[in-house]
Amino acid sequence: MTGIKILLTTGVAFIAVYFFLRLRNSIFDILILMLLIIAAVVFILFPDITNSIANKLGVGRGADLVFYTSILIFWFAILKLYARIRRLEQIITQVVRKDAIDEAEKN
Amino acid sequence: MNLNNPNSVFVIIPFYNENTVISEVIESLVPYNYQIVLVDDGSAKSPIDFLKDIHSVYFLHHKVNLGQGAAIQTGIDFALRKGAELLVTFDADGQHLASDIQSLLEPLQNKEADICIASRFLEKGKHNATKGRKITLKAGRWVNYFFTGLFLSDAHNGLRAMNRIAAKKIRLKENRMAHASEFLIAIKKNKLRYKEIPASVVYSDYSRKKGQSVFSSVRIFFDLVLHKLFE
């Protein structure tokens, strides 16, 4: 086992523990999370697998493939987060507006 | 329903951390007997101290700062509840003239339009904007045209008047400054009859300091892009 493998697997392990402590609400989430963690560990321990997948897709190295897909995933995550922020902003606006109008009606 | 009664005209003034200039603005409006709706968008220091001498105003207060668009929408909601027939939006920094309001109300009273938007560029000598601001506003016309389908002479003017029908159709979702384009989107979408009316914009050192810099237009542009993407 090389240094980078140890580093990455401990990292994944920490993240996994953190997530399991935080969100144990739905079985579906846990299943998805388990899958992702297992996949991550497998890819870290046997990087040749990503290499062969990458070659099939026409990408030179496995590391590059991982890099490209993670960019996509991050884009998606940012959009989802942004949509959520907008929803939250609208809810806050409604609450503050209602409060302002109710207060003014009282006087 | 009497459109000519100034009591059914509600002037909505959103503000955030304004100083005494706003009381001058209110005093300039008082002789016209309009109903005045002040919307404090979460100012750090409540201005109620220097406003308490003027009794004939409605005062609304956002507990947190949301942005001018949100403040205008709160004012519209409140005015509609109070039975407003005609609604006017008016900036708090003294850049508009109270005497211009009547010319915006006239087409509404004559039932020629549902919404009137003030423009500083329709007639000569109606503004003292700097060159940079003029260029930004000219570019803004095209951006607005691209996003809303309306091509107006003034991209971003805080002075507007609308009737009850138009006010009910307008739901500002952009809390910050992109709401000006949302008015245009609502006009286009609901096929409201609109009219541009020449009106003055007077920039003072104070309003320049308080108002938006040329760079805020970049922010507005991105808010508009995101508005199109997420609504």
> pLDDT tens across B84-128, in order?
999 999 998 888 999 999 999 999 999 999 999 998 888 777 777
Best mutation target among A84, A87, A97, A98 (most B Cβ atoms within 10 Å) is: A97
Domain assignment of residue A57, yes or no: no
Residues A41 and A70 both lie in one domain? no
Residues A35 and A68 both lie in one domain? no
| Amino acid in position A62 | G
**Which residue in B has a C-alpha nearest to residue A90's C-alpha?**
B173
Residues A107 and A78 both lie in one domain? yes
CA angle at A94 for the pair A90 and A100, rounded to the nearest 5°: 140
Q: What's the CA gap between B126 and B202, in Å, rounded?
A: 8
Q: In this structure, how many other beta carbons lie within 10 angstroms of the beta carbon of residue A86?
A: 17
Residue B99 has which token pair?
């005497």
Residues A39 and A3 both lie in one domain? yes
In DSSP notation, B73-85 reads HHHHHHHHHTT-S
Residue B118 β-bridge partners: B197
Q: What is the DSSP letter of B87?
A: E
Domain assignment of residue A56, yes or no: no
CATH code at B6-230: 3.90.550.10
Q: What's the CA gap between B150 and B189, in Å, rounded?
A: 11
Residues A38 and A67 both lie in one domain? no
CB contact under 8 A, B230 and A86: yes
- How far, in whole angstroms, is CA B46 from its chain's centroid? 22
Domain assignment of residue A51, yes or no: no
Would the ipTM clear 0.90, i.e. be above it? no
- Which of B119, B16, B114 is CA-nearest to residue B74? B16
pLDDT tens over chain A, length 107 residues: 788 999 999 999 998 888 888 776 678 878 888 899 999 999 899 888 888 888 888 888 888 888 999 999 999 999 889 889 989 999 999 999 999 999 888 87
Question: Which domain covers residue A24, as residue numbers?
Answer: 1-45
Domains identified in chain A, total number = 2
Best mutation target among B39, B60, B176 (most A Cβ atoms within 10 Å) is: B60
Residues A34 and A1 both lie in one domain? yes
Could you tell me if A98 lies within 8 Å of chain B, comparing CB atoms? no
Residues A69 and A38 both lie in one domain? no
